[in-house]
Amino acid sequence: MQDLIQAVSVYAIPVLFAITLHEAAHGYVARLFGDQTAYVAGRITLNPLKHIDPIGTVLVPILILLVSSIGGGGFLFGWAKPVPVNFAALRRPKQDMVWVAAAGPGANVLRAVLWAIVLRVQLMAGLDEAFFAEMAKAGIFVNIGLMALNLLPVPPLDGGRIVTGLLPRQWAWKFARIEPYGLFIVLFLMATNTLGFFLRPFYRLGLTLVDVFL
């Protein structure tokens, strides 16, 4: 139990702000391209309370940390309440969808880089603050993980939206029909321990960008 409390204290802030920034970025870019839905709903904000999903933001990450703390390992992930986006309200729905979808993972890369800078400054300054160093490392891990998961090309994940926006219209329509089964596909990959294989290229990309600042 002590290990769980310690893990929660280290990961709580990185998880909350990783998910919050991810969702707010979707809404902000959607507004730039003409859709006011998220803005009207008050979802373009860095206030975590506006984005928290009790299950995806709190319960699931804690359960994964609990499993990890007793030696079972686990892939830390979670989700927030999706920011509402009316793709039909975008100026160029198909093309702009790509930018709206990419905004979330892009925000996580930026957040991971910021955590890396914090860690770098702390190390250069010789500050002996183990807790904050672990929090910075958690921030990098959480944001790169969230970026990698969301770039998986399976709708309704961001990667699926990006692929849908890039495909020719006749193929995009067929690909988008996978969306109702997207969650089951991800769960199947997790259950068969193959999710990491598909996420590895995205992890490497994110870590390469972070390494520039370390």
Q: Which residues are designated catalytic?
A: 23
129: exposed, middle or buried (Cβ count in 10 Å: 0-12, 13-18, 19+): exposed
CA–CA distances in Å: residue 203 to residues 22, 56, 211: 17, 21, 12
Q: Backbone dihedral region of 45: left (phi > 0), alpha (psi from -120 to 50 degrees) or beta?
A: beta
Cα–Cα distance between 86 and 90 in angstroms, integer?
7
In this structure, are residues 173 and 165 in contact, taking their beta carbons and an 8 Å threshold? no
Q: Residues 6 or more apart from 167 whose CB is under 8 A from it? A: 175
Largest CA distance in the chain: 58
CA–CA distances in Å: residue 100 to residues 55, 84, 154, 171: 25, 11, 16, 20
